[in-house]
Amino acid sequence: MRPMRQATTLAAGKSTSGFARPEKIARIKGVDGGASRVGEELEIRGWARSVRTQKERAFIDLNDGSNISGMQAVVNEGTQAWDVINSGVVTTGAAVSVRGALVASPGGKQAAELLVNELEVIGPADPESYPLQKKRHTLEYLRSIAHLRPRTNTIGAVSRVRNQLAYATHKFFQENGFLYVNTPIVTASDCEGAGEQFQVTTLLNGLQAGAGPSPEAVAAAESKVKAQGDAVKTLKEAMKAGSATKEQVDAEVAKLLQAKADVEALKSTGGSTSLPTNKDGSIDYTQDFFSKPSYLTVSGQLNGEIMACAVNDVYTFGPTFRAENSNTSRHLAEFWMVEPEMAFADLNDDMDCAEAYLKYCINHVLEHCDEDLEFFEKNVAKDNLRERLRGVASQEFARITYTEAVEHVLAAKKKFEFPVEWGSDLQSEHERYITEEVFKDRPVIVRDYPKDIKAFYMRLNDDNKTVAAMDVLVPRVGELMGGSQREERLDVLERRIEDNGLEKESYWWYLDLRRYGSQPHAGFGLGFERLVCYVTGVENIRDAIPFPRYPGSAEF
Amino acid sequence: MRPMRQATTLAAGKSTSGFARPEKIARIKGVDGGASRVGEELEIRGWARSVRTQKERAFIDLNDGSNISGMQAVVNEGTQAWDVINSGVVTTGAAVSVRGALVASPGGKQAAELLVNELEVIGPADPESYPLQKKRHTLEYLRSIAHLRPRTNTIGAVSRVRNQLAYATHKFFQENGFLYVNTPIVTASDCEGAGEQFQVTTLLNGLQAGAGPSPEAVAAAESKVKAQGDAVKTLKEAMKAGSATKEQVDAEVAKLLQAKADVEALKSTGGSTSLPTNKDGSIDYTQDFFSKPSYLTVSGQLNGEIMACAVNDVYTFGPTFRAENSNTSRHLAEFWMVEPEMAFADLNDDMDCAEAYLKYCINHVLEHCDEDLEFFEKNVAKDNLRERLRGVASQEFARITYTEAVEHVLAAKKKFEFPVEWGSDLQSEHERYITEEVFKDRPVIVRDYPKDIKAFYMRLNDDNKTVAAMDVLVPRVGELMGGSQREERLDVLERRIEDNGLEKESYWWYLDLRRYGSQPHAGFGLGFERLVCYVTGVENIRDAIPFPRYPGSAEF
């Protein structure tokens, strides 16, 4: 392989303090498919998605990860590149560098293509074994090769849309004066309650190495103790009889003590599977890393509230975890959440923020990912995806109470799988009925849910029956975000904690926020992968994150 | 407390799709301290940092978390606000809403102040118990009240600078066409090796509840089995003798089976402290959530490489973990890392990117956090912080090899605690000597380290002795970032894995990246809290993250 050329010889992208990465295909193509750049000499590095060889000409479908359509590279007979192609090393998956002039494309498929002079294979891909040949693969299969699947059209496009949704998230909140805060991932506080948690520990470190001592080894060591004990006994009697010295006895006693120590050592070292315990038999967590049982967080909200009660509006964007054994297309054991928290804010502010944030994300993606969305529309979503997204971004969200939502469902002519009555949770089928049929494909925010089906920290309404909670429902998916105004009244919050069977002592610091400078505040949570699924039309949440974690799987 | 007013009556910030949060003090003050806004009627919500009452006038130092200087609110005798103040409820820490006109400030301390007409206490703060009175607290003490410490000047300013550094990170990489990717937090792959890892498990879930059944309870249940067994025996004999029916025997046998089941249930439920084991005594991890031993990630790099080998330049920004028992001011058990990975890139590209990124972050913070940096300069850093930062941002970084670095240290007239010879790691004292003294306070990138002190995945140089690694050293701190070009040659990488005593099989997917479409790629890692410390001058890393985790502590 020839040495890499200096990147500075490549066409450079937009500069930031003099630094620039080589310009990528998406930027070269710009909004006109590259028509305005025709005539430029370029070098492009990427991977061959496919190679078609004709009699006097070859076509490489070149992709550098920056967009879905890539760049058509045309190689004519008689060039250096032609010889390389004919040697058979340019196969699907190979990394190549091509150099040539951008020319207008005679075919109607693209505005411009690269007429290649020079072609270098940087890294080949053996066509016999490379798993991603041109043919289509199921998403199920691709999950088993997660280290290669971002090279496919679908997962590549998901990666780009996911990136733009993440950046839109930061831009929206930063432009609105929110601070990004990092709430803790490992937590020893009992405050969350909701959802099963993973435990984080170093107690198993010594234990995992493997088998403990075999029962045979222990028995052998113990019989050695017994034999030595007998020897000591015999010698002691001999000493009494005058036929052995005290020094001889002491030497044998020392051997006995050593044999006993050997048994203890054998039992305690090596991979024993017994944990350190307290006198009552419970695990002794003072010996764990954090000196307490510690868990992976299920939500950054309570810590977000700490920050909002100090530095005003904040948002988190980080991983959260659920140890639920649910093998569904809607659940992950590890997923990313966006959780804004606003100070001096009520439920109306919360709904305004949620609506504006969702619209901002959608508009951003419509603007920056049109080609990828078009791909999803044709191949994945199987509906008019972009029109649906534009509908969400352009309409004012309807806002109704939970009580009204229940009335809508009860009045429906439709038959539902699950019955509804005031006080029960709305199921996905009810949520979709409301947003799709009652409100004709318009997003709906439902507020003021019964207190008994919502968390203790949500602000109690004056009716004493409902809380200031809200869920944002969207067509085709149902609930996408959920939030609430938080209970800021110390006495009410304490009562709600007790009524929920929780321990006030565990919440000492959360209560302190209500004790000193309390103010109404509100926030919501968005499961980021759900948003990715919603915007792309991808159905299985395991395809919305690069390396999904679920029961039985933490590979790659 | 009166109900909150609608936020729409407040002066609104910059609008995003019609949405806007109430304007905060930092924006009202703008670049001229608010001089250009004099005359405007405003409502501001925030917390009283202090209240000074004079004969005919009172001053509230009002802070809403958006900056460090807050807004001086002046209350004159005879107003509604004056009465509220005189009732004694406006104390340090109280949440208040003030309404009035922005006026030019007669004192020289600020350009404008708010002349208050109306004052409302939203949430009081009992001066007897509120831990954050006006007096100074040590950072050590503040760590014990992490739920209140972001309300202090220092930690509030750290929060704002940290936010701007995070946003600068996203802006820099997005503007340069990198995709933000989320690498996994929980990993079952053995590939990382470096650093002690936390284990993630659900195996302790059943065990943690507390004591197992007492030996007495088990003995009692077992004696019940024995008694029932005797009863069955007696009855069977009676049946043989014709004095009992088969039905009677069956009934007693059923009771016996139940008693046996009770013993098993007693032994298995309740908190037993024994883990599920295989026949050889090792822990049976097929029963754990991920069916394998699973850990918290120590780096997203290897997964980042997967993505870079598919979608081109990427960066991660997420939490990473070390279970090292190091109680120092430089280590956290949980910290955030920024890890870019560039495709088709060599060590020069890597150094260019690291230098440009650091300069971008520093320039961004100099532009957006001047008031906070001024505070750190006066109160924390104890040197000319901003001048030092400007120096880093404006100078070209020096670039030398490791071999040259060792020569510099060996030639020094200075005495060092640790000796240096070619092949040993550079210590912090050597790194500081090079950047501060040899290069006179100029950042230095050291490259081409001996292969034996660096990781297996770094690209072997042609000399066969060194690898294409680089560290960025800055004055006062030493190493801030470290990176490398990755070994892209399959055969060399396999040899390096073997030479390092690692198992090739564990790296099957990492090797696949070299098997199919391999190309030179490079990246680096930055410990985000180290950057926060560097930019603010804060010395203890536990003050650079809102809720620090370290041995014995995962509170809040």
Q: What is the 3-state secondary structure (H, E, C) of B334-385?
A: EEEEEEEEECCCCHHHHHHHHHHHHHHHHHHHHHHCHHHHHHHHHHHHCCCH
Q: What is the pLDDT of residue A417?
A: 96
Neighbour order of strands in the sheet with B294-296:
A186-187, A294-296, A199-201, B199-201, B294-296, B186-187
| pLDDT for B271 beyond 70 | no
Give the pLDDT band of residue B191 (cuts 50, 70, 90).
Answer: low
Give the angle A383-A385-A391 at the CA atoms, nearest 5°: 115
A336/B contact by beta carbon, under 8 A: yes
Q: What is the pLDDT of residue B206?
A: 67
pLDDT in tens, A13-66: 444 457 999 999 999 999 999 999 999 999 999 999 999 999 999 999 999 999
B58: closest CA of chain A, how far (Å): 20
Q: CA A34, CA A36: separation in Å to the nearest integer?
A: 6
| pLDDT for A160 beyond 70 | yes
A64: closest CA of chain B, how far (Å): 6
Q: What is the pLDDT of residue B220?
A: 81
Q: What is the pLDDT of residue A15?
A: 44
Token readout for A337 is 């959440």
For residue A511, give the amino acid letter: L
Q: Contacts of residue B396 in chain A, CB cutoff 8 Å?
A: none
Q: Where are the alpha helices (DSSP H) in B103-195?
A: 139-143, 153-175
Give the pLDDT band of residue A351 (cuts 50, 70, 90).
Answer: very high
A218: closest CA of chain B, how far (Å): 13
Q: Please, are residues A252 and A228 in contact by the beta-carbon 8 Å criterion?
A: yes
* Percent above pLDDT 90 for chain A: 78
Q: Please, are residues B290 and A551 in contact by the beta-carbon 8 Å criterion?
A: yes
Q: Please, are residues A544 and A165 in contact by the beta-carbon 8 Å criterion?
A: no
> How far is C-alpha B112 from the geometric centre of its chain's CA atoms?
37
Check A176 against B19: CB less than 8 A apart: yes
A203-230 residues labelled b (16+ CB within 10 A) or e (exposed): bbeebeeebbbeeeeeeebbebbeebee
| pLDDT for A4 beyond 80 | no
Listed residue (A391, A409, A392) closest to A400, CA to CA: A409
Nearest CA in chain A to B200: A200
| pLDDT for A268 beyond 70 | no
Give the pLDDT band of residue A271 (cuts 50, 70, 90).
Answer: very low
List the single best residue of A152, A289, A335 to mutate versus B (max B Cβ within 10 A). A289
Q: Look-up: residue for tokens 């930031």?
A: A16
Check B95 against A519: CB less than 8 A apart: yes
Q: CA B47, CA A519: separation in Å to the nearest integer?
A: 10
| pLDDT for A320 beyond 60 | yes
A331/B contact by beta carbon, under 8 A: no
pLDDT in tens, B202-242: 999 867 544 456 667 777 888 888 888 888 888 888 888 88
Listed residue (A481, A395, A420, A412) closest to A445, CA to CA: A481
B277/A contact by beta carbon, under 8 A: yes
Check B147 against A16: CB less than 8 A apart: no
List the single best residue of B130, B152, B519 to mutate versus A (max A Cβ within 10 A). B519
CB-nearest to A95 from B94, B177, B518 is B518
For residue B407, give the amino acid letter: E
Q: What is the pLDDT of residue B9?
A: 39
Token readout for B74 is 């002046």
**B160: buried, middle or exposed (CB in 10 Å: 19+, 13-18, 0-12)?**
buried
pLDDT in tens, B135-168: 789 999 999 999 999 999 999 999 999 999 999 9
Question: How many CB pairs below 8 A link A and B?
Answer: 446
Give A377's contacts (C-beta < 8 A, 6+ positions apart).
A383, A384, A385, A386, A537
Q: CA B411, CA B402: separation in Å to the nearest integer?
A: 14
Q: What is the pLDDT of residue B14?
A: 42
Q: What is the pLDDT of residue A496?
A: 97
Average pLDDT value over all residues in chain B: 91
**A378: buried, middle or exposed (CB in 10 Å: 19+, 13-18, 0-12)?**
exposed
B487: closest CA of chain A, how far (Å): 13
| pLDDT for B386 beyond 50 | yes
Q: CA B494, CA A125: separation in Å to the nearest integer?
A: 17
Q: CA A98, CA A90: separation in Å to the nearest integer?
A: 11
Q: What is the pLDDT of residue B18?
A: 78
| pLDDT for A1 beyond 60 | no
Q: CA A323, CA A198: separation in Å to the nearest integer?
A: 6
For residue B523, give the amino acid letter: G
**A342 HSE (CA, 13 A, CB side):** 28
3-state helix/strand/coil string of B219-276? HHHHHHHHHHHHHHHHHHHHHHCCCCCHHHHHHHHHHHHHHHHHHHHHHHCCCCCECC
Check B546 against A325: CB less than 8 A apart: no
- Over residues A86-95, the mean pLDDT reads 96
For residue A299, give the amino acid letter: S
Q: Contacts of residue A356 in chain B, CB cutoff 8 Å?
A: 16-19
Q: What is the pLDDT of residue B13?
A: 47
Least confident of A155-169, A258-272, A332-346: A258-272
Residue A550 DSSP symbol: B
Q: What is the pLDDT of residue B4?
A: 41
CB-nearest to A176 from B16, B122, B556 is B16
| pLDDT for B134 beyond 90 | no
B115 bridge partner residues? B74, B101
Check A205 against B196: CB less than 8 A apart: yes
* Percent above pLDDT 70 for chain B: 92
**Interface predicted TM-score (ipTM) of this complex, two decimals:** 0.88
pLDDT in tens, B10-67: 455 444 457 999 999 999 999 999 999 999 999 999 999 999 999 999 999 999 999 9
Check A122 against B344: CB less than 8 A apart: yes
- Over residues A355-361, the mean pLDDT reads 98
Average pLDDT value over all residues in chain A: 91
Q: What is the pLDDT of residue A212?
A: 53
Note the residue count of chain A.
556
List the single best residue of A1, A5, A16 to mutate versus B (max B Cβ within 10 A). A16
Q: CA A30, CA A69: separation in Å to the nearest integer?
A: 12
Give the pLDDT band of residue A191 (cuts 50, 70, 90).
Answer: low
| pLDDT for B410 beyond 60 | yes
Least confident of A160-164, A208-212, B486-490: A208-212
**B552: buried, middle or exposed (CB in 10 Å: 19+, 13-18, 0-12)?**
middle
Least confident of A96-105, B68-77, B120-129, B131-140: B131-140
Interface of B with A in 17-56 (CB under 8 A): 17-22, 24, 26-27, 45-47
A437: closest CA of chain B, how far (Å): 26
| pLDDT for B552 beyond 80 | yes
Q: Please, are residues B438 and B407 in contact by the beta-carbon 8 Å criterion?
A: no
Check B208 against A199: CB less than 8 A apart: yes
Q: CA A554, CA A548: separation in Å to the nearest integer?
A: 7
pLDDT in tens, A283-298: 999 999 999 999 999 9
Q: SS3 helix, strand, coil % of chain A, rounded to 5?
A: 40, 20, 40
Q: What is the pLDDT of residue B208?
A: 52
Q: What is the pLDDT of residue A6?
A: 38
Token readout for A281 is 């038999």
| pLDDT for A8 beyond 50 | no
A250 bridge partner residues? none
Token readout for B422 is 């070619």
- Over residues A347-367, the mean pLDDT reads 98
Neighbours of A85 (CB within 10 A): 23
Least confident of A3-12, A455-464, A497-506, B366-375: A3-12
Q: Where are the alpha helices (DSSP H) in A144-214?
A: 153-175
| pLDDT for B1 beyond 70 | no
Check B290 against A356: CB less than 8 A apart: no
Q: What is the pLDDT of residue A267?
A: 63
pLDDT in tens, B272-312: 567 888 888 889 999 999 999 999 999 999 999 999 999 99
Interface of A with B in 281-320 (CB under 8 A): 281-283, 285, 289-294, 296, 303, 306-307, 309-313, 318-319
Least confident of A33-37, A443-447, B108-112: B108-112
Nearest CA in chain B to A319: B185
Give the pLDDT band of residue B193 (cuts 50, 70, 90).
Answer: low
Interface of A with B in 423-462 (CB under 8 A): none
| Cα dihedral A74→A76→A81→A84 (10° resolution) | 110
B345/A contact by beta carbon, under 8 A: yes
| pLDDT for B2 beyond 80 | no
